[in-house]
Chain A
Amino acid sequence: MNKLRFFDATLRDGSHANAHQITTDCISSYCAAIDDAGLYTVVVGHGNGLGASSLQVGLSLHTEEEMLAAAKPYLKKTRLGVYLIPGFGTIHDHIAPAIAQGVQLVKVGCHCTEADVTKQHIEYARAHDVEAYGVLMMSHMAEPERLLQEAKKMESYGALGVILMDSAGALLPKQVAERVKRIVSECGLLVGFHAHNNMSLAVANTLAALDAGAAIVDATLRGFGAGAGNCQLEVLCGILQKMSVETGLDFYRLLDVCDTIVAARLQKKPSEITSLSLVGGLSGVFSAFTEHIKKAAVRFNVDPRDIFVELGKRKVVGGQEDMIVDVAMNLAQRTRKDDISFLMESLL
């Protein structure tokens, strides 16, 4: 078994849960405390990555430059990582400056059927001696064979690995295993998994991914992340120890950072599975839409569950936050169907 690589998304995915208001002070404290814990990389920045601070997705409290500068001096053993979705950030405005600030690892993400848009960015990172990994978002929306084809494209661009993101928390363990196994068996890339906890399956799904041959775990402390949150990294670490799987992680250090920084200073409230996030997972809608949906529901006086279900039907993808208002307006205008028929449709 390959040595597992733990990618820490606490500061990035947690940014969604905090409306992108994480302070540079917290970033510095977090990085200083976690540097010795044995993680492969700590990814820093806006929840949707470089260049995503926007009216569409939400404005960050600090600029990227400030956030990276707050992290860099404290990460001596752990790689400083960033995330980028092509179409949000560009090489000129975002990747090049981040590399100049000392970023050592770039994750380049796209909707799971659109890997060819990551070519320029993966190639640029690799040409500048920066580790690059591909990320296939909303991976519940494509079958294993299609994911394999997209992963192979990323491999041809020079990616070192591919991470399947269950952005909506919509996958079941069996589906995770099928997806991971298909790529591991026919492609030379390291495979990773990033879970969301909408159906209380984030840890189980990550274990299923590891069992199927995944070598990268992408998770967050206390599950701090968008919507219902992510695979809870310290819980996974404890389980792996119990299973006698070598993690290279300092378990007590992770717990200390959970208590003294994440719970005490980052999280306004614990990540939890609300009724709404459950409906979101069942409808397959991007977890990071939750806060926007709640606002739109109040403004247009419609049921937020109906917004989730309708967005699921329209197959919206990450970044299409503008569709939320459109759907809410339409729902407010048309005659409401009863809740039961909506729920039934979402389960089909």
Chain B
Amino acid sequence: MTPVKTKVAIIGTGNIGADLLVKIRRSPLLECALFMGRNLDSPGMRFAASLGTPISDQSISALAEDPDCCEIVFDATSASIHLQHAPVLKALGKFAIDLTPSKTGCMCIPVINAEACLEEPNVNLVTCGGQATVPLAYAISQVHPDVQYIEVVASIASRSAGPGTRANIDEFTQTTKDAILHFTGVPKAKTIIILNPAEPPILMRNTIYALIPNPDMEALRLSVKQMEKRIQKYVPGYQVIMEPVFENGRVTTMVQVTGLGDYLPPYSGNLDIITCAAVHIAEMFARKKQESAHE
């Protein structure tokens, strides 16, 4: 028997919203019931319409009018708009997955705290830089709780940073840093975000530096390798391109993210990593609901 798919809705018809839609249509557990924005002529909206997905230009009001259309809502708008959406979604009793750097809900890095997040009404996916770098920072801090300082540098192609990312660059930088502090417990952290306009566009590249008094490099390499494997289960293009090395008194490791090339080209690994994480959480929510229905 084919299980009934859990219905979801997407607010925000930009690159992230459209990419989510492609991934959801491929999911055996999820079905997109409504794709909402403000402009019926936007490329993302026309794309959704061409796939036969129900669309609306009334944004979140469309959801308030038909609250039973879905159980899960993805918000791919912007940090300030999500602050307005969050109480509405809560009142409607929806499981909200926030892809903006608003930090409204529980910060979620699926590979670290997915289970706990399923109990929350609002889950925040930090930032793409956070999804890429926090797991490795966490893997390092698990081996070395005495790590003194962690710094991450995320370089992304200009072309894959849409108007939303640019308008939120300050929250992006701050939220990524806050997430590293939150998940690793390190006393001090720093995030650097670089937009690179090179043509052809570069793949998303992240460097993680850690200051550790006497690093156990073998254990660090193993921990990072295991973390890479676990993330690859939901982000296939996640690849450690330089395993931890000790140089200049610091531990350095580098990861590259190639996108699946769903709505955007493969160089947009920065978008892919956050939409993959969002769909992964939604699928876990759906699976858990189905299991409890069978009991």
Interface residues of A (CB under 8 A from B): 51, 54-57, 86-93, 110-111, 113-114, 116-117, 119-121, 141, 299, 314-317, 319-320, 322, 325-326
12 extra A-B contacts, CB within 8 A, seeds A111-B197, A317-B198: A54-B151, A54-B190, A55-B149, A56-B151, A57-B192, A120-B170, A314-B198, A315-B196, A315-B197, A317-B196, A319-B153, A322-B155
Pick 7 A–B contacts, CB within 8 A, sort by A: A86-B193, A88-B173, A116-B166, A117-B166, A141-B197, A319-B192, A319-B194
Inter-chain contacts of A111 with B (CB < 8 A): 195-197
| Docked pose: A316 CA to B153 CA in angstroms | 14
Interface string of B216-253 (1 = CB under 8 A from A): 00000000000000000000000000100001001010
Interface size counted on chain B using CB atoms at 8 A: 31
- Bits for B106-128, please: 1 = Cβ < 8 Å to A, else 0: 00000000000000000000000
Q: Does B83 contact A (CB under 8 A)?
A: no
Which B186-228 residues sit within 8 Å CB-CB of chain A? 190, 192-199, 205, 207, 209, 211
Instruction: Give which listed residue, A110, A116, A315, contacts B163 with CB less than 8 A.
Output: A116
CB <8 Å contact, B155 and A113 = no
A308 CA / B90 CA spacing, docked (Å): 54
Chain B 151-172: CB-based contact to A (< 8 A → 1; otherwise 0): 1010100100001001101100
Are B166 and A322 neighbours in the complex by a CB distance under 8 Å?
Answer: no
Residues of B within 8 A of A54 (CB): 151, 190, 192
- Is B42 positioned at the interface, with any CB of A under 8 Å from its CB? no
* Min C-beta distance of B193 to chain A, whole Å: 4
Q: How long is the Cα–Cα vector from A120 to B169 in the complex, in angstroms? A: 8
Are A87 and B197 also in contact (CB < 8 A) when A55-B250, A120-B167 are?
no
Task: Check if B207 sits within 8 Å of A87, measured CB to CB.
Answer: no
Residues of B within 8 A of A (CB): 149, 151, 153, 155, 158, 163, 166-167, 169-170, 173-174, 177, 190, 192-199, 205, 207, 209, 211, 242, 247, 250, 252, 254
Among A92, A113, A322: residue with most chain B CB under 10 A? A322
Interface centre among A89, A110, A120, A320 (most CB of B within 10 A): A320
A90 contacts which of B153, B174, B211, B250 (Cβ < 8 Å)?
B174
Cα separation A114 to B166 with both chains bound (whole Å): 9
Partner of B197, one of A89, A93, A113: A113
Q: Please provide the 8 A-B residue pairs with the shortest distance between their CB atoms, ordered closest to farther.
A: A87-B193, A315-B198, A55-B209, A322-B207, A116-B166, A319-B194, A90-B174, A117-B169
Known: A55-B151, A92-B174. A114 touches B195 (CB 8 A): yes
Q: How far is the CB of A7 from chain B (nearest CB, A)?
A: 24
A116's closest neighbor in chain B, by CB? B166
> In the complex, A44 Cα to B63 Cα: how many Å?
51
Taken together as a complex, chains A and B put the C-alpha atoms of A325 and B211 apart, in Å, by: 18
Beyond A56-B151, A56-B153, A56-B207, whether A119 also contacts B167 by CB under 8 A is yes
